[in-house]
Structure formats: C-alpha cells, structure tokens
Amino acid sequence: MPIGRPSGRSKKEPVKTLGFHECPAKTFIGPTGNPTIGRSVFEHCRIVGEVAKELVIRSGAAQLFPQDAHFAAACHDIGKVSPTFYSKLMRACKQEGLPGINPDLEKAWGGHAGVSQLTAKHVGTPKYVPEVLGQHHGFSPHLSGMKATDEIFGGAGWQVEREKLVAELSSVLNGSWPSVESASQARLLAGLTSVADWIGSGQHFNDPALDWRERISQAVDDAGFVPATFKSGLTFQDVFGFTPREAQSTLIDCASTPGVFVMEAPMGMGKTEAALYAAYQIASDGHATGIYFALPTQLTSNKIFERFQKFLSQVLADDCSHRSLLLHANAWLFDTDMGEEGQPGGAWFNQSKRGLLAPFAVGTVDQALMAAMNVKHGFVRAFGLAGKVVILDEVHTYDTYTGSLLDDLVSLLRDLQCTVIILSATLNQERREQLLGHPTKSMAYPLVTSSPSLSPSDVIETYVPPSDSRSISVHLSNSDASAMNEALARAGEGQQVLWIENTVKDAQQRFLDLASRCAEIGVGCGLLTSRFTVNDRQNIEAEWVTLFGKSGWGKRSEKGRILIGTQVLEQSIDIDADFMVTRFAPTDMVLQRFGRLWRHEGTPRPVEANPDAWLLAPALESAIEEPQKHFGSSAFVYSPFVLCRSLETWQEVKSINLPQDIRGLIESTYETRQESGPMSQWLRDLDDGSRQRLGRNAMRQLARVALAEGGNTLPEEKASTRYSDSESVDVLMLRSISHDTDKGQIRLILDNGDVVQIALYRSGLNRDQWRKRTAVLMRHVVAVPMGQDPKGLSIRQLRNLGLHHCFYLGDPEQPDQEALLRVVLVDETGCLKSITGGDAHENHQLEYRNDLGYRAIKA
C-alpha cells in the first residue's frame, strides 16, 4: 500500500485538520500509572527553546553558536503537528485518533522528526537547518521524494498549522531562523537541539499541570551544565607537588594560548601532568570551558581517572559546584538528570557517552572520534567537546596509520574553538604533519610542536634536550617455553616481571601456564585484561597496579611476581617492572611497553636485576613468507605488513638507549619505500584490505562517508574507529533470576552473591532508587567480542525482566529485535548458562572466573 494512501480512507477524502494548540507533544504518567495526554507541542517547543537559550548562555562559548540558535532548537518538534503523530499519542492513551489514520506508517519516514525537516525545507529555512531539525533523535530520516504538503502528513491544512506554530514560537521566543556558517557549526547546533530536548523532556516538565517557567534554570542545573570556576595563579608545584621537568615546562610555555599542540617525549617523562597543567592554564584564563582527557581504551581511562580527580581537587575553586561530583568515577552520571534519553535505560545513560557533556571527563578516544562521524548522536559529542581542552593521550603512528578519522577530529575540534593537546612517545614526522594539517621540519626528539589558533600555519617546533638516558638490553626469542622459564627464574630472585600478550585469549592461556608454577615457588601471579566485570577489574587494578607502582615499593621485596596482561599494560598506567617479556608488536607499541621497564629512579630492585626485555618473535624470513602462520593471532590484531617491517627494524638491535633511539626506530619502520616479493602483497592488503580486515583506503573512504552530510546514520555500536574496530557486546553476569509476581518485582542475584530487586514498571521505584540499582548492575557487566557473546534475547524478553529500566536494550519501537545487552547465569563452577536454560553459546563453552575473566572455549 503506498504511503500516501492510509487504509480506511479514500485518497480524495480530506484529513481532518486540528489547530496546532490542540496537538499534544507528550504523554504523562499520572498517579494511576496510566498514560494521559501531556504538554502541547507549542508548550514543549517553548520549553526546549528556553532550555537551549540557557545552555548557550552558560556554555562559555556562546560565540560558537549561530544567532537565534535557541529558536531552531525550539522548532525541533514542529513535525508533531501531524495526523499520524496525533493519532499515535491518542492510541497510547487509549483514546480515539483521527479516522483512517495509521500511526504505524510513521516508521517509514523516521517519525515526527522527518516531518519537522520537511516543514523547515518547505518554508525555505537557511542551509543545514532542516537537517538539524530532522536529526534531533540522532539519525537522518528517510525522506526521499517526500514533501511537507503530502497527504500522509495532513496535506496543505496541517502544513498551514505547522507554519502558524513556527510563527507563534518566533514571537514568544523573539527569534528567527539562524544562519549556519559551516558544517561544523551545524553539528554544534544539532547537538544543542538534542540536549535541550532531553532536558526539556525531563522530570521538571513532565506534569502539564505545573508551571514550567520557573523550572528552566533548575533543570539545567540538575543536568550538570553549571560553569566551572578555578583557583587562580597556581603553579605547577602547587598542583602536583614537584617542580616541572624541562620537557613539561616547554609544553606549558608553548600551550599558554589556544591551539593544537603535539608533545613527543619518552615514556615516564610526565606528559600527562604537563598536559593537565596546560589545560588548567587555558581554562582558568577563560579560554576553555572544560577538559576532556581521551585515552585509547576504557580500561586505561579508568586508571587515569584517579590522577585526574586529584588534579581537579587542586585546581577547582573551593565554591565550585563540580567539586561535589569528584567522589567517584560515575558521580556526574548518577547525580545529574538529563531527561528521558539520559535516565537509566536511556541511550545516553552511559558514562562513556555522557562524560563528553560533563565539564571534566576522562573517556575513550573513540567516543571523541564519533563527534566527527555520521553516527547516531555524533553531533551531541561535538556539542559536548566544543570550547574545551581536549587531550589525546597515547597517540601512536600505528593508531593513525590505517585511517584518517583522527585527522578529521582534530580539524573539527579546531572549528569548535577547542585547544587540542596530543601526547605521544612514538609519532613519525609524516603523522605529525597530518595531525597538524601543516608541514613540519624537525626530526629532533623530544619535541613540542605548536600550531596556535590565531595563526595555525605558523608551526613552531621546540626541541627539548633529554634530561636523562637509560639503556635496555633486547633479546629476540621464538621460544615461549624459554621465555616462561626465564620469567620464573627472574621472579624467583624477587624480580617484578611483566608479560604482555597481544590478545586476551593468549594472555589467559599464559596465566594458566604460569599460575600453578608460580605458586610452587612462592611467586605471585596476576592477570589484567579488559575481559573482567568492572567490580573484578577494579579489584585487580587496586592490587596489581599498586604492587608495580610507586606506592608498592615497600612490598616489592616481599616476593617476586609475574603480572600478565594485554595492551592495557602499555597505556597510561604508571607501573615499573624489573624484567619484561612481550609478544612482538609494531615498533611504537614495543617502545611503549619498554616504558614500563625500569621506569623510575629509586625503585627498589634485587641486585640480580638488569633492564632486560625479551621480544617473542618469529624468524624474519618465515614471517615475511607466511605472517599469519608465524605471528599467529597477532597478525589479526596488527597489520602483517607493519609487523614484518617492525621485525626487520629490530633484527640487529641488541640494546637501545631511550630516548635517543626512539625517533630512528619509528622512522625506519614507517618510512615509505618500494616493496617487492611477499612484502608488496602485504602492503596491498594493508591498502586494499583482505578477508580479515578492511584496507586503509576503504577506511579512509568510510571516514569520508561517515562525515558526509547525507547517507545513512550508523548505529553507535556499528561505528568503526581505529581504537574500537571490532564490535563488542555487554554481558550482565548473574547467579539467578526470580519473579515476585505479587510485588511486581524481579529479584536478581549477582555473580558475587549480592541481591538487587528491580520493579517491572518504572513507577515501582523512584528516580534515585533506579539510579542506585543501575549503578550496582553496571559493575557486573563485561564487554566481550561479537562471536564470543552468549545467545541473544529479544528486547521484549529482557523488558519482561524490567531490565529496560536500567540498560539501553535497543530501539524500543522494535521489541522483537535482538537486544544489545546479553544476560547469562554463572553456575558454581563458573560455567555460563542461558537464562532460558541450556548452553549460552552454540559452538563454545563460556565461563567466567574472577581471576581469569570471561573465556570462550571451543567445544
């Protein structure tokens, strides 16, 4: 049946037209628990416009927004003046809709947001504005060939009412359609519109009987948008308790005004402190509205959070309201209210996303990268980052070697008047130029490169003489057995040993190989990967990162230890080993791992200890012929071409001096040259792709498509970045589930034995009770790769357990779709079972142990 011909009514029969004042925007759940008609479209649009106005005033970067941005935000829901939407709400309230109107047809064009876009286009709004209105739910509506006056949208009569609504909003808000100057500003306006809509749909405005006018300021306060205030005139020593090194002082001096800055310095040089102080300097001078600290993975961002918290406690003014949100990592998440999308169960009730909206946050770089991609609510991320200092930590040449997303992000952040500080131990010159967007000359190291906002083409390169040097002995070995014997021998002497693998599976196997042998000789053995629940992971970090850090110096002499892990041990964790074994990886990753070896002067060590590192690598000739066979699983993590080029670079290396040798090793690995033989094939695979991975040409094209104005919007879970290029699934670990039908509750026993009672209906618990229960449940979730995840259940099945009140399960309009969340039962042996009975996976045995994490074992 064509969309233009709803069932039950002939094409010529006119659609009954309602005045815009008669059209509701919301339903309201009253004391009876039943939905009734809520606020009108006009009233809701006014609320959102006033919230947007308040957000712009408080942003500290009002100059970034187009004039009358609040009016565009107010007009986001003009498409709710339509027969299908009206009938949809009537049906939800069990009332009669308009005759012959089928509300389900809305799915064909993206609902009321699509009608808002067509209406704005029909009245001739400036460039970008229709798309901003159409995408306020995060995605582009499907509107090909449609017009605002089409019969399915109510024809000319309903379009006249929508235009009357626009005129009335213009009058009461004293605004007109904004002129948007660029695609970047359009993303900012779209983000403002969505966030204002979330707040304007929140608890402060739900009850239509209450006057909303006095609630705007409080609602924005409660959403966390309160300007931060700083102590002024603090020195570096005031903040961190020690005087800065020369490299730190150089960055601080260079980054005294906004711009893009790249600090290349060896591991352990204090890049983090230098960047944070530079951020304080810029923000306290009024040139930035906050700080976002982006790290490669969630695991590393958890650890850096403690240092970030301590820093904020020093620099925020005593009366700054954000001091009260420094108590724990999720304080801002749980103590602020951002309306329906930001409540437990909403798509944005998630620290990794909402953190970008907080004035101060530590998060992952892939969340920042999505600000520059055409993913659902990517523009909300752009809104959250605008005007801030954005610190991109642990950027390596390899990370940016296969795509252009990071370059696009830096360009967007420039447009949004951010200051960008890029920290790296291992960039080559070509990558530095691409990130800055301008030529560079210096091959010195360490180096600070500056591109000030006022004159970005005036690139300034400042060499920093290294303050000290250390030598590391390097041994290439192709024998895991020999390396294990060496690690055990060193630990037996009392040394603290790090063993780094490239995959979680290999790290788990190595732990199983070594744990019992360690116990036999009185040596400690631990495992740290991303495959643990938040609870278990934090317990492991608290123990092992402490033991291998400065605060564990007093316990190092008690016994030797072996800590096994993955790439999480190479990033942003201040640990110090006496001896290291690492699976071979690209040169920049190897050097980054070496930064955890003999890291600090003064660390107590056994007399037998020497700064030695073993690289587990195949023979070069064999690796070049068959990289996937000889590198094993590492060739599925890293490009075989880059692994072979790296292995060639390390062939004759017996020792290295840090930092002097870093630049040469990186440039040797990544220099452009003519390849021949098998290497030419591996280079083609890198460029054009293979069965296992996308090529970098395709990734660059995906980046361009993702950043284009048109095209389909990617779901967030499908967005591919260099840092999260494999899909993962969240799994909730439970012991049992039971129903209390009389009370309308579900009783969940968690994997550690704790009990959580949740209600089947939202009204069964108040706002704080839902938040507290969600906070507990989120600590028992583990992220696992797609393919190793348990059997999925439908959204409808998990809604029947009340879990949609705590987790975002997917599009609620598609209840029979597979939910994004997985739920399993852990038995007394650690085996995972489906909550519907039987095995949790068709081809794998799944298990979970608090010392080993989540494992998928082939049946």
- The DSSP symbol for 126 reads P
Beta-sheet strands, E only, within 781-836: 781-785, 821-826, 832-834
For residue 31, say if its preceding peptide bond is cis, omega within 30 degrees of 0.
no
Tell me the CA distances in angstroms from 766 to 343, 415, 742, 763, 770, one per residue in order. Answer: 12, 42, 19, 7, 6
Query: What local confidence, expressed as pLDDT, does residue 715 receive?
Result: 67
Whole-angstrom distance, CA of residue 178 vs CA of residue 187: 14
Predicted pLDDT of residue 702:
59
Token pair of 531 as six digits: 């495959």
Give the phi and the psi of residue 565 in degrees, each rounded to 5: -165, -170
Q: How many angstroms separate the first and last alpha carbons of the chain?
A: 49
Nearest to 26 by CA among 202, 221, 220: 202
- pLDDT of amino acid 814: 81
446 cis-preceded (ω within 30 degrees of 0): yes
Same domain (yes/no): 298, 205: no
Could you identify the residue written with the tokens 């930001």? Answer: 342
Specify if 525 maps to a domain: yes
Look at residue 2 in the predicted model and tell me its pLDDT: 37
Q: How many CB atoms lie within 10 A of CB 180?
A: 24
What confidence score (pLDDT) does residue 513 get?
96
DSSP 247: H
Q: Per the domain annotation, does 234 fall within a domain?
A: no
Q: Looking at the structure, do residues 484 and 437 belong to the same domain, yes or no?
A: no
- String of b and e for 642-657 (b: at least 16 CB within 10 Å)? bbbbbbbbbeebeebe
DSSP string, 199-240: HHTSGGG--TTS--GGGHHHHHHHTT-----B-SS--HHHHH
Regarding whether 179 and 269 lie in a shared domain, the answer is: no
Whether residues 301 and 434 fall in one domain: yes
My answer on whether 443 and 474 are in the same domain is no
Q: pLDDT of 626-653, one tens digit each?
A: 999 999 999 988 999 999 999 999 999 9
| Residue 589 resides in a domain | yes
Q: What is the CATH number of the domain that holds 504?
A: 3.40.50.300
Place of tokens 């041994």: 475
Same domain, 218 and 244: no
Strands 612-616 and 579-583: parallel
| Shared domain check, 188 and 273 | no
Q: What angle do CA 757, 762, 767 make, to 5 degrees?
A: 80
Helix (H) / strand (E) containing 322: none
Shared-domain flag, residues 739 and 800: yes
Which alpha helices (H) appear in 316-396, and where do they start and end?
A: 331-335, 351-354, 365-369, 378-385
Give the relative orientation of helices 246-254 and 271-284 as an angle to the nearest 10 degrees: 30
Flag whether 456 is in a domain.
Answer: no
Is residue 673 domain-resident? no
Residue 805 within a domain:
yes
Strands in 123-269 per DSSP E: 259-264
What is the number of alpha carbons within 13 Å of residue 165 lying toward its C-beta? 34
The single residue listed with the structure tokens 């999505």 is: 370
Provide the token pair at 855: 């494992």
Two structure tokens written together for 747: 């009783």
CATH of the domain at 128: 1.10.3210.30
Which domain range does residue 94 map to?
A: 20-222
Distances (CA, A) of 304 to 297, 370, 538, 577: 11, 21, 13, 19
For 385-453, the three-class secondary structure string (H helix, E strand, C coil) is: HCCCEEEECCCEHHHHHCCCHHHHHHHHHHHCCCEEEEEECECCHHHHHHHHCCCCCCCCCCEEEEEEC
For β-strands 781-785 and 728-740, DSSP reports them as: antiparallel
What pLDDT does 534 receive? Answer: 86
Same domain, 484 and 553: yes
Single-letter residue type at 660: Q
Residue-level pLDDT at 403: 59
Which helix (H) or strand (E) segment holds residue 135: the answer is none
Q: Phi/psi class of residue 174: alpha, beta or left (left: φ > 0; alpha: ψ in -120 to 50)?
A: left
pLDDT value for 690: 80
Whole-number Å distance between alpha carbons of 109 and 105:
8
Question: pLDDT of 427-441, one tens digit each?
Answer: 889 889 999 999 999
Number of domains in the chain: 4
Rg (CA), the chain: 28
pLDDT of amino acid 725: 46
464 is a domain residue: no
In the DSSP assignment, the letter for residue 494 is T
Cβ pair 383, 188 in contact under 8 A:
yes
To the question of pTM greater than 0.85 for the whole model, the response is yes
Residues of the chain with pLDDT under 70: 1-13, 298-303, 324-335, 337-342, 348-352, 399-403, 572, 699-712, 714-727
54: Cβ contacts below 8 Å, ≥ 6 apart: 216, 217, 220, 225
Say whether both 543 and 643 belong to one domain: yes
167, burial (CB in 10 Å: exposed 0-12, middle 13-18, buried 19+): exposed
What strands lie across the sheet with 259-264, from one edge to the other?
Answer: 360-364, 291-295, 389-392, 419-424, 259-264, 447-452, 460-463
Residues 42 and 191 both lie in one domain: yes
Residue 835 identity (one-letter amino acid): I
697 occurs within a structural domain: no
**Are 360 and 387 members of one domain?**
yes
CA distance 763 to 765: 5
Dihedrals phi, psi of 184, to nearest 5 degrees:
-65, -45
Residue 4's pLDDT is 38
Of the residues 222, 253, 287, the one at which a domain ends: 222
3-state secondary structure of 348: coil
Length of the chain: 859
Nearest Cα to Cα of residue 274 among 306, 240, 297: 240
HSE toward the beta carbon, residue 81, CA cutoff 13 A: 34
- The number of beta carbons lying within 10 Å of the beta carbon of residue 727 is 13
